[in-house]
């Protein structure tokens, strides 16, 4: 089975860069944490904690990303840009279909419960603030994986066709920095505060302009008008996995294995 190659769009390339950067950042912080734990250092993140400049630079990058989300941009996915008037192309349908609130509620409950467990472990001194920061950075990597390869919220809860029609796209930073709620520090609460403001801004737009968030009322969200083609990466991955499942099934087939052994003996 051949997999048709799709040329990377500018937005896709930027998301791959973010995936690489966030993965590298997570790896550096993880190694730093482990080394300082081995040395029994009083500061789990060592130089990262001792030097506010380093944490400041890391926080500044994420803060800039979040602030840019408040404004229209050609470097962001339509999934997080559809609330703006410039990205609204009216269709013949004036009102979108009413969608169930249950998937959004389920995601909220699951996410709060998951992070509630981490919070309880932290407050019980089972894990420290360094682990919570690592969890937040791991979330940032998973955010890019959800966009490029596989999104559990899309597959198991929302059932939306792609990121462009995602109801909770701009929840990403608030979800990413949820662990920071347990770390009372100006740095963590500033980052979390901006993320929550972005979430509130998004939810207000959803209620004021619901027609901008549905494909049946906003032609900008149609596949024909899509320029980023982020969904192709997920389709390519599914095709690749299906092809390899077939190969693995053949590899485990006793008839095939017997034939292979005969060929080896002849050689």
SS (H, E, C) 109-172: HHHHHHHHHHHHHHHCCCCCHHHHHHHHHHHHHHHHHHHHCCCHHHHHHHCCCCHHHCCCHHHH
Give the pLDDT confidence score for residue 244 in this predicted structure: 73
Give the pLDDT confidence score for residue 3 in this predicted structure: 47
Per-residue pLDDT of the chain (267 residues; tens, 9 = 90+): 444 556 778 899 999 999 999 999 999 888 888 888 888 777 666 555 665 666 777 788 999 999 999 999 988 999 999 999 999 999 999 899 999 999 999 999 999 999 999 999 999 999 988 899 999 999 999 999 999 999 999 999 999 989 999 999 999 999 999 999 998 888 889 999 999 999 999 999 999 999 999 999 999 999 889 888 788 777 776 676 677 765 655 555 555 555 556 555 655
Give the pLDDT confidence score for residue 40 in this predicted structure: 76
Give the pLDDT confidence score for residue 59 in this predicted structure: 82
Q: What is the pTM of this model?
A: 0.86
Q: Phi first, then psi: give them for residue 90, nearest 5 degrees.
A: -60, 145
Give the pLDDT confidence score for residue 139 in this predicted structure: 98
Q: Phi first, then psi: give them for residue 99, nearest 5 degrees.
A: -110, 150
């Amino acid at each position: 089975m051949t997999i048709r190659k799709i040329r990377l769009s500018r937005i896709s390339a930027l998301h791959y860069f973010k995936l690489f950067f966030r993965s590298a950042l997570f790896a550096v912080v993880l190694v730093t944490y482990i080394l300082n734990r081995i040395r029994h250092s009083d500061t789990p993140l060592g130089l990262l904690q001792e030097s506010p400049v380093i944490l400041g630079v890391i926080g500044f990058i994420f803060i800039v990303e979040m602030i840019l989300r408040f404004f229209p941009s050609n470097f962001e996915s339509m999934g997080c840009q559809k609330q703006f008037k410039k990205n609204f192309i009216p269709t013949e349908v004036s009102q979108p279909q009413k969608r169930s609130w249950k998937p959004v509620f389920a995601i909220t409950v699951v996410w709060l419960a998951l992070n509630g467990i981490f919070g309880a472990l932290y407050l019980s001194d089972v894990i420290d603030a360094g682990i919570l920061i690592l969890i937040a950075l791991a979330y940032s990597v998973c955010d890019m994986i959800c966009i490029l390869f596989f999104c559990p919220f899309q597959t198991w809860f929302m059932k939306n066709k792609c990121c462009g029609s995602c109801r909770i796209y701009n929840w990403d930073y608030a979800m990413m920095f949820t662990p920071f709620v347990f770390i009372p520090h100006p740095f963590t609460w500033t980052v979390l505060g901006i993320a929550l403001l972005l979430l509130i801004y998004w939810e207000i737009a959803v209620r004021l302009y619901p027609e901008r968030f549905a494909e049946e009322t906003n032609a900008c969200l149609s596949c024909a008008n899509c320029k980023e083609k982020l969904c192709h990466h997920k389709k390519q991955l599914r095709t690749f996995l299906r092809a390899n499942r077939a190969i693995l099934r053949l590899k485990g087939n006793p008839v095939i294995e017997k034939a292979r052994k005969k060929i080896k003996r002849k050689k």
